[in-house]
Each structure stands twice: as C-alpha cells, then as structure tokens.
C-alpha cells in the first residue's frame, strides 16, 4: 500500500511550480486548510449547536447572511492574517476589501479573494456547501497598504485558486497553474491527503446544472439549450441528467469528475448575472481551464474580463469543452439579452 501524501508534503514536492513564492504558498495554503478544518468541524455540529439559520443581517449583495457565513468569514480572515503572506482579503461577506494592518502583513506579497461559505442556505437541510478562494500577487509596492488595484485584477493573473467541498467527505481542490489536484480530509489524523491527482474534466458529459426555476427569466438561447438537453441530445450522449445542488463548489466538483456543464446566465432580475466575478467565477474558471475545460460569460472568456468593482457580477457557463461550446452555439443563434 502506497504512503498517503499530505497536502503539505505535496506542496513542498511541487514547489518548483511556484518558484517566485519562496515557500510562501505552502504557508498560505496551510492557513486556508486550517480554516477549512475549523469550518468543517462547525458544519458537522450543525443542528447540535446554535449555528444554523440567519443572522438577521443582509450582506453587501442584499442577501440574508447566515450564521455560518459570518463564522466562516471570521475564521478564514483570522487564519490568513495570522501568517505574514497576505496583506488583504476581499470577501463576499465584507462591503470593502479588508486590509491587514500589522507590519508583517504590510510586507506580504499576496491578496486573497474568497467566498467563505458558498451555498450556506443548504446547511439547515444538511446539503453540501463549500468555500471558494483565489490568490493574486499584489501590484502595489511591498511595505504599503494594498490598493483597490490589487484586488481588481483579471482572472488570468491568479497565481492559485481552489475550493473546499464540505460533503459526505471534505475535499480541498486547488491549482497553481500546473494542473489540478484534490485532497480529502482524514479526520482521524486531522490532515488533508492526496486523493485526486492530476484531475481532468471529460470533454463531454451528461449532466447539466442550472436552476430551472428561473427558466421563464432566461435568455432565449439558454431556454433553447435546455430544450436541447431535455429532448434533442444525440443518441450516443443520451440521456442528459439535470443535477443542481445550489452550491457552486459542489455542483462544479461533481461535473469536474463526471463531466458536465454549469450554467448561471443573466436573468431579467439580474441582467449582469448573479455570481460574483472575482471570488466565484474567476477561481472556478482558472481551475476548469487547468483541468481541460472552458469558462465564459456566454461570450467572453471569464479569465479575460477586467473587473471594476469588488462585488462585480457575471454570467457563467462552465464545464466540459464540448458541452459549453454547444451552449455557445445556441446563444449565438438567439442573441437576445
């Protein structure tokens, strides 16, 4: 039986993939994995302690903040600030970027953007949720406070991105631009261990993931693609199956392994889309491209979009190459907004 490789050991082995970090990536990802372990512990207590339900406060997006949203946000901020690799954090749960003021943090080279608890409304009913994160090298001078420009970088400048799924098991998946690898948490030893090496997404799949409850509000091209999935898929690919969890990390993880497409298009109520570009679309786009897939807003490569605000939204078409390209064909045939 081969020896399990831990996340820390794997990062050290692959350090040549991240030569300009001088060991900082290992420390930074250790901070993220530590916070993930703490959040995982609390999620597993849900229903036994008073940590489910809403806080009574809306976040910057006008969405009702769950207690675990706030808890996860604080845990990840604390873990990242405790190391001296990160000078600031952009989070779904914060109105503005959080600037770390300690002197060591001011000399850090990186900023982190994150959705601390993706799909948190699923907690109350014991359905999988996740964490999404990405890492950029700052543009502002070392030793000064980070600026808006450090956080408002296009996705192709990411130096690392990943997600955690808290489900039947807890798995952390990340990339530094040299392939995608997954690590499953072993609670008996308190460590993430390599379980999915060199992950690739199949070129084709049979799963489409979309909230069909919004069907009447979708652009015509998306409606026609859904009809295609339901009725007109070539025989060799039938049957297509609709699978939608309501947590981007969870839906994407399933499709990454099995092949599929995730769609969150614009709607009448959200003409710019609903998902956040910087800490939801960009990290997943980086990962899926490294795994051999595609991510667009229906027209433009996600990683090429230049952001102008922290909580900017974007439509998202993400997954297996052939499936996303077919969806694009329908969008081009029906170019209404």
Non-local (6+) Cβ contacts of 44 within 8 A are: none
Q: Is 109 annotated as a binding residue?
A: no
pLDDT of residue 48: 43
Whether residue 228 is predicted with pLDDT greater than 80 in this model: the reply is yes
pLDDT of residue 68: 87
Size of the chain in residues: 337
Q: Is 42 annotated as a binding residue?
A: no
Q: Is 174 annotated as a binding residue?
A: no
Q: Is 118 annotated as a binding residue?
A: yes
Q: Which is more confidently placed, 57 or 181?
A: 181
Burial degree of 17 (CB within 10 A; 0-12, 13-18, 19+): middle
pLDDT of residue 233: 78
Rounded Cα distance, 281 and 80, in Å: 22
Whether residue 262 is predicted with pLDDT greater than 60 in this model: the reply is yes
Whether residue 57 is predicted with pLDDT greater than 70 in this model: the reply is no
Nearest Cα to Cα of residue 219 among 63, 328, 62, 61: 328
Q: Is 262 annotated as a binding residue?
A: yes
Compute the average pLDDT of residues 158-171. 94
Q: Is 172 annotated as a binding residue?
A: no
Q: Is 190 annotated as a binding residue?
A: no
Whether residue 16 is predicted with pLDDT greater than 80 in this model: the reply is no
**Cα dist. 36→83, 99, 100, 208 in Å?**
15, 21, 20, 28
Between 40-54, 124-138, 186-200, 228-242, the lowest mean confidence (pLDDT) is in 40-54
Q: Can you read off the two tokens belonging to residue 7? A: 């996340």
CA 291 to chain centre: 14
Whether residue 238 is predicted with pLDDT greater than 50 in this model: the reply is yes
Q: Is 121 annotated as a binding residue?
A: yes
Q: Is 117 annotated as a binding residue?
A: yes
pLDDT digits (tens, 9 = 90+) for 291-302: 999 999 999 999
Q: Quote the mean pLDDT of the chain.
A: 90
Burial degree of 269 (CB within 10 A; 0-12, 13-18, 19+): exposed
Q: Which is more confidently placed, 122 or 157?
A: 157
Rounded Cα distance, 130 and 211, in Å: 18
Whether residue 56 is predicted with pLDDT greater than 90 in this model: the reply is no
Non-local (6+) Cβ contacts of 29 within 8 A are: 7, 11, 160, 162, 174
Compute the average pLDDT of residues 180-189. 95
Domains and their CATH numbers in the chain: 7-196 (3.30.540.10), 207-333 (3.40.190.80)
Q: Is 211 annotated as a binding residue?
A: yes
Compute the average pLDDT of residues 155-169. 95
Q: Is 263 annotated as a binding residue?
A: yes
Whether residue 172 is predicted with pLDDT greater than 90 in this model: the reply is yes
Whether residue 50 is predicted with pLDDT greater than 80 in this model: the reply is no
- Confidence band, pLDDT 50/70/90 cuts, at residue 274: very high
pLDDT of residue 280: 98
Q: Is 264 annotated as a binding residue?
A: yes
- Confidence band, pLDDT 50/70/90 cuts, at residue 282: very high
Q: Is 185 annotated as a binding residue?
A: no
Report the b/e string of 299-331 with b at 16+ CB within 10 A: eeebbebebeebbbbbbbbbbbbbbbebbbebb
Q: Is 221 annotated as a binding residue?
A: no
Non-local (6+) Cβ contacts of 142 within 8 A are: 107, 108, 109
Q: Which is more confidently placed, 317 or 16?
A: 317
pLDDT of residue 295: 98
């Amino acid at each position: 039986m081969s020896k399990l490789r831990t996340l820390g050991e794997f990062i050290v082995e692959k350090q040549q993939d991240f030569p300009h970090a001088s060991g900082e990536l290992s420390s930074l990802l250790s901070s993220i994995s530590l916070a993930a372990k703490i959040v995982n512990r609390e999620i597993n207590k849900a229903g036994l302690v008073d940590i489910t339900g809403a806080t009574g406060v809306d976040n910057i997006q006008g969405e009702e903040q769950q207690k675990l949203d706030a808890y996860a946000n604080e845990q990840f901020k604390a873990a990242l600030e405790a190391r001296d690799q990160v000078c600031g954090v952009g989070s779904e749960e914060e109105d503005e970027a959080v600037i770390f003021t300690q002197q060591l943090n001011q000399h850090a080279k990186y900023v982190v953007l994150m959705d601390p608890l993706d799909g948190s409304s699923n907690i109350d009913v014991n359905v999988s949720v996740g964490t999404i994160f990405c890492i950029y090298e700052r543009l502002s001078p070392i030793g000064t406070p980070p600026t808006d420009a450090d956080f408002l970088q296009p996705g192709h400048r990411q130096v690392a991105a990943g997600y955690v799924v808290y489900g039947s098991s807890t798995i952390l998946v990340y990339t530094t631009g040299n392939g995608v690898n997954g690590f499953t948490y072993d609670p008996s030893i308190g460590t993430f261990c390599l379980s999915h090496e060199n992950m690739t997404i199949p070129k084709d799949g049979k799963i489409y993931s979309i909230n069909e409850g919004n069907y009447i509000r979708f652009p015509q091209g998306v409606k026609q693609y859904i009809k295609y999935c339901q009725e007109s898929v070539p025989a060799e690919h039938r049957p297509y199956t609709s699978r939608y969890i309501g947590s981007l990390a969870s839906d994407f993880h399933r499709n990454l392994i099995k092949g599929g497409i995730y769609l969150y298009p614009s709607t009448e109520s959200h003409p710019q889309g609903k998902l956040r570009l910087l800490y939801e679309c960009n990290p997943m786009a980086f990962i899926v491209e490294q795994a051999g897939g595609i991510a667009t807003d229906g027209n433009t490569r996600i990683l090429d979009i230049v952001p102008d605000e922290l909580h900017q939204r974007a439509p998202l078409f993400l997954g297996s190459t052939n499936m996303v390209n077919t969806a694009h064909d329908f969008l081009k045939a029906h170019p209404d907004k």
